[in-house]
Structure 1
Amino acid sequence: MSTVLDPATETPPTEAAGGTPPARRARSKGRFASLPLVLVVAFLVLVPAGFILLASVSSDVPRPGNFSFSLTLRNFKVLAEGGLLGAAGNSVLMAAGATVLALLIGGSLAFICARTDTPLRRLVFLSGMMPLFLPSYVGALSWAVLGSPGSGLLNVALHDLGLGVRVDVYSLPGVTMVMAMYYAPYAFLLIHGAMSLMNPDLEDAAGVHGGSTWRTIRSVTVPLALPAILGSGLLIFIHVLENFPVAQVLATPGQIDTLPTFIYRLINTTPSRGNEAAVVSVVLVAAVVVMTLVQRRILARRSYTTVSGKGVKARVLPLGSLRLPALALAFAYFMMSMVLPLSALLLTAVRTSPYMQSFSALGRPGAVDFSSFAQALSSDVFAKATANSVIVAVAAALAGTALAFILGYTVYRTKLSARGTLEAISMVPLAIPAVVLGIGLLWTWLVMPVPVYGTLWVLVIGFVAIQLPQGFRGIAAAIQATDRDLEDSAVLLGARRIRAISAVTVPLLRVSISSTFLLLMMLSMREITVPLFLYTNDTRILSIAIYDQFENGGALRSAAALALMYCLLMFVLSLLPRLLGARGSAGRL
């Protein structure tokens, strides 16, 4: 007599015998296989963030031999301080003003370059993106030389011209202007991309129904570019809100506090108020997260799709008599963001006297001397800082690229259960301001029983952590765009998976991998906020050396010469992708 089992209650033979189903074993194995990678990424990002959160509700900051869990809410009294409220107000005003101004500059240049018949549009494109190659804090230092209310070069020139106008870059409008100039390229690149791909059908329809050119731009073109405008606006607002070096160089001399400078001062005051700095840091992170969520909700309400399977070409609008003024706008921006700052650095490096009442003084014998470049090149500071910068940048780029590849491959080429967790953790540094993450990294490596603090390794770890989102996104996009059939074919022919990855997948992604490496290396070369918390006298890098020498007024000439050589190095690095690409193309011919 046979017994029919109910499928809902039937126990599989493997389970009845105490075994584990194959599917469950596979899920368990996948869960444990991804655990080491999850732990590494979490340790890089979440542990420093956790130390910030713990310090905000503790009575002591984390330090060697004093790791306490005594909880308290007294630290939150700092939120009621007048100084913090003033710093928050200044930060919001500065971020809002810089965002609006950067969107106007970058958006106008993007529109001129992508949608109009303005002559020399390639030069307009270069004008819009060139400030990316000049670190914002070097631009701030240059504008401190140009726009100091006492002896700034612009004020000297205005005095020579007999004009009663004075420039004060140490004011809230001055800092806002400098921030906007060096973040306008973010708006330019994003909006230019959106306008270049825009379907002209809707604009043509507006014209058919009687809309003028400017009304069509206002009612059709700008609304269609809204995702790029809002995206770049949010990006600029967050970057300005969390920017420490520009605010420290330009706002602090004018006795203007911002949230990052307020946090930095709490850390460096005597006695240190690290717990209260952690509270302000948590509030700053929360504000960044809220703004990101609000932007996503706004964009989710409408559809902005205009590009379909049909090929499109953006409509070119004739500007008529405004063609030359549009070109002049791009030229003026290039002058203010690149030519004037670099000229100020050059003049500061070659003039023998730090004080100059008139430009006519430059014609006197001995007023100009180029020996500062030779002195900077032969100095121990330059040699050691350059060596440290190259070692740290290359090591951080190698480690960051390797980790980004492993993460991208795990998330988009495997079925491991922790894929979503890995992707989420990898993007966390975007929501943590650099000044906050720098403090967290400092406390982490002071407490950890690993002797890396005081070495170059702690800088490498810090750079890998803060640049994880950029590396991950660069590699992940390439992996998503590459078919895995060739890799699977190699496995079917007998190759191990690791062999297939190294012999097939990596060569296919070599352009993206090399581009990610160069991007991370450049970001490491220009980073200043995180190393400001982690460096020692033996581990100074170029960005810190320049900052320190500018803070020391007696070394102004040397600092300017060092900054110019640093800018030249950054420019050469920016050309490497094009040079390597050209060489690779020549090799394939």
Structure 2
Amino acid sequence: MTTTPTRSAPSPKPPDTDSGPRKRASVPLRTRIAGLPLLAFISFLVLVPAGLIVVAAFGTDVPRPGGEGLSFTLENLRVLIADGVGGAALNSLVIAAGATALALLIGGSLAFVAARTDVRARGFLYLIGLMPLFLPSYVGALAWSILASPGAGLINVAFRDLGITGPVVDVYTLAGVIVVMAMYYAPYAFLMIHGSMSLMNPDLEDSAGVHGSPTWRTIRSITLPLSLPAVLGSALLIFVLVFENFPVSQVLATPGGIDTLPTFIYKLMNSTPSRGNEAAVIAIVLVTVVVAITWMQRRYLANRSFTTVSGKGVKPRIIPLGRWRTPVLLAALGYFFLSIVLPMLALLLSAVRSSPYMSSFSSLAEPGSIDFSSFTAAVTSDGFLRAASNSVVVSLTAAACGTALAFAVGYVVYRTKSWGRGALEGVSMVPLAIPHVVLAIGLLWTWLIMPLPVYGTLWVLIIGFVAVQMPQGFRGIAASIRSTDRDLEDSAVMLGARRSRAVAVITLPLLRVAVLSTFLLLLMLSMRELTVPLFLYTSDTEILSIAIYDQFENGGALREASATALVYCAIMFLLSYLPRRLGAGSGGHGA
């Protein structure tokens, strides 16, 4: 009797974790192409406006509806040697470098004191470091124009009351612009450096102390070098933000006859006739400088190691300040007073004065000199109500669309094997290297020539906000997606659930805190954005930031502008506390 040999049952395939040809072949085609429509959409949203800037820089005409065929020329490059361009570029570099250095000094010092010392009221110091972040820089600039203009500035009025004639302070100078920029961009340095200081392993510092190194020498030779990535990262971010900043330069530098590259671009766009092609050339120069600075920073850090966090729990070394505890706290309070308290008081005084100009503080004691009706007039006017409703609709819609788009991009990049994932991530980060004033011009031309009836509606503002804020939304979502295990989602799919249902029922609830935080971040960024809507709005689509800017530009509406700005700041401060409240609430419902 013969026996028939039997085959053993094939062993199940191992999980698809390898990266060889077998893995690529096992992925269905529909999964491979799932991300391509998203890549095409993001590319259209971001790259088309950027491409139109390049086309306009070398074209004989700017993109417009019914424009003739493309015709190229190099004549536009002559603007680079025109009067004023070199001075504007130098002013931009000086302001950006000076403000970056001062912001690093302010934010870095606050971060070190709050994270590594026994200073009094450390929790309050942390809030001091953050609070200027939630006051739009252009509102701060407007307040400082009320405080320190050479003629009618409140500080100069106070000095005249003391018998000191002549302008003592003048914010319409390079130094004035640098100081104001630094005050409102210092929180970026504070956040990044505070995080680095808080996570730093104290072993090296302790070893230096054991070998007799004085405290301040240890800080200089160990602590600060280990914080170099955070310092350089925040320096790069602040430099780029200041270099491309248009509103503060327009409010403070332009009245003093100081041009920067963003204000020069704005001047070219608003000249008669408009010089859009030359503005596009300057815009490319602006982008080139930003990209070059970013490349140099990455190259400098590429071959250096700054590992400071070990696998064990880390408790940073606390440095006793001794007799310096109170003076350091007073210095921090001084920054808080200059960046928040004094500007708010200036706006309040400007809003309640019956006359827009004041020659002496003694005039405030005269009957009828104080009038709070400006708040009522500001918040009940048709213009305010229309601008406020537009701001709410645009900001909420842009935040919702931006969050959904960022989640879709993050999911495709980090949870699928779709073609073009790397390109999708790269395109999503492109707006980070394009100044807002440049992208705003590209967006204007894009939606002027598109056959879709978008320009002149709120949708063009929503699209603009989503485009410029794509990097912030993507990074906020991507970090949480990468840190969340996908096993529960895959298990639901294996048990028969569709992938879309598994994402909606399992993945999104797991990421609810990150999604809410990203939504609120984009909401705040949309509420405070000025540069992009300045190029895209019409009389029917004005939002609060534009309304405040226009009111300040019109000196006759100074009281109403100040009242509107205070209401606007109250909204911003309220929004600044929502992420923490929602985060705390969500944290209490963990399994």
TM-score over 0.5 for the alignment?
Answer: yes
Contact 2:161 2:360 in 1 (8 A): yes
CA contact (8 A) 1:27 1:417 kept: no
List per-residue Cα deviations over 1:327-370 (Å, max 9, x = no partner): 11100000000000000000000000112111111111000010
Q: Distance in 2 between matches of 1:110 and 1:509?
A: 29
Q: Secondary structure at the match of 1:343?
A: helix
Counterpart amino acid of 2:192? L
Partner of 2:379: 377
Taking the aligned partners of 2:155 and 2:171, their CA distance within structure 1 comes to: 10
Which position in structure 1 is the counterpart of 2:93?
A: 92
Q: In structure 1, how many angstroms separate the alpha carbons of the residues matched to 2:370 and 2:481?
A: 54
Check if 1:399 corresponds to 2:401: yes
Give a deviation string over 1:223-260, Cα, whole Å, max 9, x none.
11100000000100010000000000000000000000
CA separation in 1, counterparts of 2:555 and 2:440? 26
1:129 partnered with 2:122: no
Contact map agreement 1:55 1:278 (CA 8 A) in 2: yes
Supply the AA of the counterpart residue of 2:561. A
Residue of 351, 354, 361 corresponding to 1:352: 354
Q: Distance in 2 between matches of 1:233 and 1:240?
A: 10
Greater alpha carbon shift after TM alignment, 184-193 vs 24-33: 24-33
Residue aligning to 2:450? 448
Deviates more, 1:307-316 or 1:476-485: 307-316
Task: Answer yes or no: is the 8 Å Cα contact 1:143–1:169 preserved in 2.
Answer: yes
1:81 Cα deviation after fit = 1.6
In structure 1, what is the equivalent of residue 37 of structure 2?
Answer: 36
- Residue matched to 1:312: 314
Is contact 2:27-2:417 (8 Å) kept?
A: no
With normalisation by structure 1, the TM-score equals: 0.94
Contact 2:513/2:586 (8 A) holds in 1: no
DSSP 3-state at the match of 2:70: coil
What RMSD in Å do the two structures reach over aligned CA positions? Answer: 1.5
Counterpart residue number, 1:414:
416
Q: Displacement, 1:31? A: 4.7
Distance in 1 between the 2:469 and 2:80 partners? 30
Deviations 1:377-422 (A, max 9, x none): 1100110000000000011011101100100000000011210010
The answer for unaligned runs of 5 or more in structure 2 is 1-21
1:321 positional shift: 1.7
Q: Is 1:58–1:68's contact at 8 Å kept on the other side of the alignment?
A: no
Give the conservation status (yes or no) of the 8 Å contact 1:48–1:444: yes
Q: 1:25 offset after TM fit, Å?
A: 9.3
State the match for 2:465 in structure 1. Answer: 463
Pairing of 1:469-508 with structure 2 (within 5 A): 469-508=471-510
Query: Quick one: distance in 2 between partners of 1:25 and 1:35?
Result: 19
Distance apart, 1:117 and its partner CA: 1.1
State the Cα deviation string for residues 527-572 of structure 1 (Å, max 9, x = none). 0000000000000000000000000000000000000000011111
Q: 1:495 to 1:301 in 2, by over 3 A?
A: same
Q: Does 1:267 align with 2:276?
A: no
Please, which moves more after superposition, 40-49 or 295-304?
Answer: 295-304
Shift of 1:210: 2.5
Equivalent residue for 1:321? 323
Superposition deviation, residue 26 in structure 1 = 5.1
Q: How far apart are residue 579 of structure 1 and its match?
A: 3.0
- Larger deviation: 170-179 or 34-43? 34-43
Once the two structures are superposed, the pairs formed by residues 267-346 of structure 1 within 5 Å of their partners are 267-346=269-348
Partner of 1:533: 535
The aligned amino acid for 1:255 is: G
Of residues 75-84 and 54-63 in structure 1, the stretch that sits farther from structure 2 once superposed is 75-84
For 1:279 and 1:302, locate their aligned partners in 2 and report how far apart those are by CA, in whole Å: 36
Relative to 1, partners in 2 of residues 1:67 and 1:105: Cα closer, same or farther, differing over 3 Å? Answer: farther
Secondary structure of 1:82's aligned partner: coil
Distance, in Å, in 2 between the alignment partners of 1:174 and 1:336 is 13
Pick which of 566-575 and 458-467 moved more. 566-575
Displacement, 1:158? 1.7
Distance (whole Å) between structure 2 residues aligned to residue 91 and residue 436 of structure 1: 15
Change (3 A) 1:503 1:25: closer
Q: What CA distance in whole angstroms lies between the structure 2 residues aligned with 1:199 and 1:161?
A: 53
Q: Which stretch of structure 1 is more off in the superposition, 187-196 or 211-220? A: 211-220
Q: Return the alpha-carbon distance in structure 2 between the equivalents of residues 408 and 462 of structure 1.
A: 20
Residue 425 of structure 1 and its aligned partner are, at CA, apart by 0.2
- Structure 2 residue aligned with 1:240, among 235, 239, 242? 242
DSSP-derived class of the 2:197 partner = helix
Q: CA deviation at 1:581?
A: 3.5
The residue type paired with residue 479 of structure 1 is I
Q: Are residues 230 and 581 of structure 1, via their aligned partners in 2, closer, same or farther at CA, if it must alter by over 3 Å?
A: closer
1:18: which partner in 2? none
Shift of 1:221: 0.9
Q: Could you say which residue in structure 1 is the equivalent of 2:432?
A: 430
Identity %: 67
Secondary structure of the corresponding residue to residue 169 of structure 1: coil
Alignment partners' CA distance in 2, 1:577 and 1:217: 34
Give the structure 1 partner of residue 78 of structure 2. 77
Deviation, structure 1 residue 33: 2.8
Q: Do the aligned residues in 2 keep the contact of 1:131 with 1:185 (CA within 8 Å)?
A: yes
Displacement of 1:157 in angstroms is 1.3
- Could you say what secondary structure the match of 1:401 adopts? helix
How far the C-alpha of 1:30 sits from its partner, in A, is 4.5
Measured in 1, the distance between the counterparts of 2:235 and 2:308 equals 21
Distance 2:297 2:278 in 1: 29
Residue 564 of structure 1 is matched in structure 2 by 566
> Structure 2 CA distance, aligned partners of 1:252 and 1:179?
15
Q: Assess if the C-alpha contact under 8 Å between 2:33 and 2:418 holds in 1.
A: no
TM-superposition CA deviations, 1:64-114 (whole Å, max 9, x none): 001531011111111112310000000000000000000000011111111
Residue 147 (str. 1) matches residue 128 (str. 2): no
Alpha-carbon separation, structure 1, partners of 2:509 and 2:269: 47
In structure 2, what residue type is equivalent to 1:568?
A: A
How far 1:203 moved relative to its partner? 1.2
Shift of the alpha carbon at 1:214?
1.2
For residue 159 of structure 1, report the CA deviation from its aligned partner: 1.8
Q: For residues 160 and 186 of structure 2, what CA distance do their matches in structure 1 show?
A: 30
Residues 361-372 of structure 1 aligned to structure 2 (within 5 Å): 361-372=363-374
Kept after mapping to 1: 8 A contact 2:347/2:562: yes
Q: How does 1:97-116 map to 2 (within 5 A)?
A: 97-116=98-117
User: Following the alignment from structure 1 to structure 2, what is the Cα–Cα distance between the partners of residues 309 and 26?
Assistant: 36
Aligned partners of 2:232 and 2:241: how far apart in 1? 14
Shift of 1:580: 2.8
AA paired with 2:148?
G
SS at match of 2:255: coil
Q: Is the 8 A contact 1:386 1:542 kept in 2?
A: yes
Give the 3-state SS of the residue equivalent to 2:84 in structure 1.
Answer: helix
Partners in 1 of 2:357 and 2:505 — Cα distance? 62
CA shift, 1:35, in A, is 2.0
Tell me the residue number matched to 2:67: 66
C-alpha spacing 1:32/1:492, structure 2 compared with 1 (3 Å)? closer
Structure 1 residues 70 and 217 mapped into 2: Cα distance closer, same or farther (>3 Å)? same
> Equivalents in 2 of 1:434, 1:230: separation in Å?
22
The residue identity in structure 1 corresponding to 2:168 is R
Deviations 1:429-473 (A, max 9, x none): 000000000000000000000100000000000000000001111
Whole-angstrom distance in 1 between the partners of 2:308 and 2:576: 33
1:277-300 Cα deviation digits (max 9, x unpaired): 101111111111111111011111
